[in-house]
């Protein structure tokens, strides 16, 4: 890495933290296929504390968990233990009881009907099953209130056993589908998802600092989630986070870990499934995971139904985007310089990553702020990625 690139990236992080209303703290790392090219931590783990943000600070990864659970599913596909075209009810009969929400009657009672087709594992992997998060759907939020269901982040089965917002395969709707897949992995492996991931993903990648349940050592390095008020003010809220210990290992949202550990996972995908201590996936499986699986459908914008948790938005509005197993695919080059066909996604507390297999580079930007798509952290991430590609092009990469 050139001194000029390091200086430029340092300035991006410093600006994101030190500007008025900036993020309390940020960890950002860039990797190639071999090792980290850049890593830095700026700011504090919590406003008002003396603890600096460090490279080993532990973050709520939230939806960054999804891709890791997707790998565990694809390992079962490789072994012939399941097919993505299998109906999900074959493994979890309870999912067949989920009905489509068509509206509410005059008394406010939900109107439900059976789906026109059964949910398959492919629907779950692609977020086309019909499940949606209540913070992105007012109808889902209203249904949960009437039915007395907990938040989809409650880390228990009731949190995901909700209605469908449309028939399976009809469109892309972001929600807790991967949590259902995590339960299928548990059923076929005969152990909790965390133990499966440790054995079959984390150990081959030498990942030791990522788990559904915080260890004392992880808790000591935990970055506090901050709440941004409508006026822009940030308040540290140590109580924000997932239940500990969790009743259920949420395959779509439940992991905590340090940023550098996630970069090991990104490097595995850059290296066609190879890790420092063993092969995690076959190269052809990795290639299949990274292809658009939506056909003529697209992934895209979301509208908030809970402003304290998420802002409305879209990644690169107007840009064509699809979905793979289980990442977003930008079907066109992004304004940051990321090429068409690259992968990316994010977590609710403003963690963002991208994976560019064509150029052998990936990166991650981690802060801990609600709501999602924070006004300071997300632009910082975009500047971070843009700077990486600008200097790569100058170097002829």
| pLDDT, tens digit (0-9, with 9 covering 90-100), for 73-116 | 999 999 999 999 999 999 999 999 999 999 999 999 999 999 99
Q: Residues 43-60: what's their mean pLDDT?
A: 97
Instruction: Please state, in angstroms and as integers, the Cα–Cα distance from residue 238 to each residue in 46, 94, 117, 211, 368, following that order.
Output: 9, 35, 43, 19, 11
Question: Is the predicted pLDDT of residue 397 greater than 60, yes or no?
Answer: no
Report the C-alpha gap between 346 and 369 in whole angstroms: 13
Report the C-alpha gap between 222 and 115 in whole angstroms: 42
Q: What is the reported pLDDT for 394?
A: 61
Domain boundaries, given as residue ranges, for the chain: 3-65+193-394, 77-185
E strand or H helix at 363: strand 361-366
Q: What is the reported pLDDT for 393?
A: 75
Strand order in the sheet with 369-370: 234-236, 226-228, 369-370
Phi and psi, residue 40, nearest 5°: -160, 155
| pLDDT, tens digit (0-9, with 9 covering 90-100), for 319-359 | 999 999 999 999 999 999 999 999 999 999 999 999 999 99
E strand or H helix at 322: strand 321-323
Angle between helices 65-79 and 177-189 (to 10 degrees): 40
Question: Is the predicted pLDDT of residue 60 greater than 60, yes or no?
Answer: yes
Phi and psi, residue 107, nearest 5°: -90, 0
Contact 163, 111 (CB under 8 A): no
Q: Which residues are catalytic?
A: 63, 66, 174
Residue 354, number of CB atoms within 10 A of its CB: 27
Q: With 0-12 CB in 10 A as exposed, 13-18 as middle and 19+ as buried, what is 240?
A: middle
| pLDDT, tens digit (0-9, with 9 covering 90-100), for 354-378 | 999 999 999 999 999 999 999 999 9
| Confidence at 395, pLDDT banded by 50, 70, 90 | low
| Confidence at 1, pLDDT banded by 50, 70, 90 | low
> For residue 352, which of 305, 330, 385 has the smallest C-alpha distance?
385
Report the C-alpha gap between 177 and 179 in whole angstroms: 5
Quick one: CATH architecture of 3-65+193-394?
A: 3-Layer(aba) Sandwich (3.40)
How does DSSP assign 283-303, residue by residue?
A: HHHHHHHTS--STT-----B-
Contact 322, 315 (CB under 8 A): no
Q: Residues 236-245: what's their mean pLDDT?
A: 96
Phi and psi, residue 109, nearest 5°: -85, 135
Q: What is the reported pLDDT for 37?
A: 95
Report the C-alpha gap between 174 and 314 in whole angstroms: 12
Note the pTM of the prediction, 2 decimals: 0.96
């Amino acid at each position: 890495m050139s001194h000029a690139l390091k200086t430029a990236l340092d300035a991006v992080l410093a600006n994101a933290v030190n500007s008025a209303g900036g993020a309390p703290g940020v960890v950002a790392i860039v990797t190639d296929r071999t090792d980290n090219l850049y890593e830095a931590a700026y700011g504090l783990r919590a406003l008002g504390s003396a603890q600096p943000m460090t490279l080993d600070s532990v973050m709520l990864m939230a939806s960054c968990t999804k891709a890791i659970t997707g790998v565990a599913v694809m390992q079962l596909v490789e072994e012939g233990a399941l097919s993505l075209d299998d109906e999900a009810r074959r493994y979890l009969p309870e999912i067949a009881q989920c009905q489509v929400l068509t509206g509410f009657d005059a008394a406010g009672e939900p109107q439900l009907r059976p789906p026109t087709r059964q949910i398959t594992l492919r629907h779950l992997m692609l977020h086309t099953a019909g499940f949606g998060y209540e913070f992105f759907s007012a109808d889902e939020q209203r249904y949960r209130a009437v039915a007395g269901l907990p938040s989809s982040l409650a880390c228990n089965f009731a949190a995901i056993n909700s209605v469908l917002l449309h028939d399976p395969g009809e469109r892309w709707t972001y929600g807790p589908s991967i949590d259902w897949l995590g339960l299928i992995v548990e059923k076929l492996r005969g152990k909790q998802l965390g133990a499966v991931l440790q054995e079959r993903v984390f150990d081959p990648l030498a990942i030791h600092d990522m788990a559904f349940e915080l260890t004392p050592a992880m808790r000591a390095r935990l970055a506090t989630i901050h709440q941004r008020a409508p006026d822009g003010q940030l308040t540290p809220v140590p109580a924000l986070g997932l239940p500990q210990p969790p009743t259920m290992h949420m395959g779509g949202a439940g992991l905590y870990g340090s940023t550098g550990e996630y970069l090991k996972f990104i490097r595995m995908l850059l290296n066609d499934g190879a890790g420092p201590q063993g092969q995690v996936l076959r190269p052809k499986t990795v290639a299949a995971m990274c292809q658009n699986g939506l056909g003529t459908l697209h992934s895209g914008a979301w509208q908030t139904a809970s402003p304290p948790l998420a802002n409305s938005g879209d990644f690169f509005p107007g840009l064509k985007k699809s979905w793979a197993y289980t990442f977003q695919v930008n079907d066109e080059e992004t304004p940051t310089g990321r090429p068409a066909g690259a992968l990316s996604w994010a977590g609710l507390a403003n963690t963002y990553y991208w994976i560019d297999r064509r150029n052998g580079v990936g990166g991650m930007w981690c802060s801990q702020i609600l709501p999602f798509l924070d006004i300071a952290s997300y632009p910082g991430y975009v500047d971070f990625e843009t700077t990486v590609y600008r200097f790569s092009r100058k170097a002829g990469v």
